[in-house]
Amino acid sequence: MSGLMHIPAVLRGEGIEAMCLLDIWQENSSTGRVYTRCRIHDAPPDLPDGAYKVEFRANRVSTRKTFGTWELTFLPPQIRLDGAT
């Protein structure tokens, strides 16, 4: 994977279900390890702060909205973005 990917996803939490996009990219650490990170993008702005699950391509990861801002999330290494899981 290279560059920024935008993947459709579903947010579930706080009694709500909503569509969004995930921005997903890779970063290299100072030790050379590659991390895949994501952030919620294009979610309805009126979603309350709290804990959510984001589902995409048969995967589910936890995320959180705090003070109106979505946290950055590290994706587990077993999640592959080439269509396989």
- Per-residue confidence band for 82, with pLDDT thresholds at 50, 70 and 90: low
42 and 54 in contact (C-beta within 8 Å)?
no
| Residue 13, CA distances (Å) to 58, 84, 85 in order | 17, 25, 23
pLDDT at residue 54 in the model: 95
Condensed to tens digits (0 to 9), the pLDDT of residues 15-66 reads: 999 999 999 998 888 888 888 899 998 999 999 999 999 999 888 999 999 9
Closest CA to 51 of 82, 79, 73: 73
Cα dihedral sign, 76-77-83-85: negative
Judge whether residue 83 has pLDDT over 90: no
Q: What is the pLDDT of residue 84?
A: 39
CB 11 within 8 A of CB 60: no
Which pair of structure tokens corresponds to residue 29? Answer: 């650490």
Q: Running DSSP on this structure, what letter comes out for residue 48?
A: P
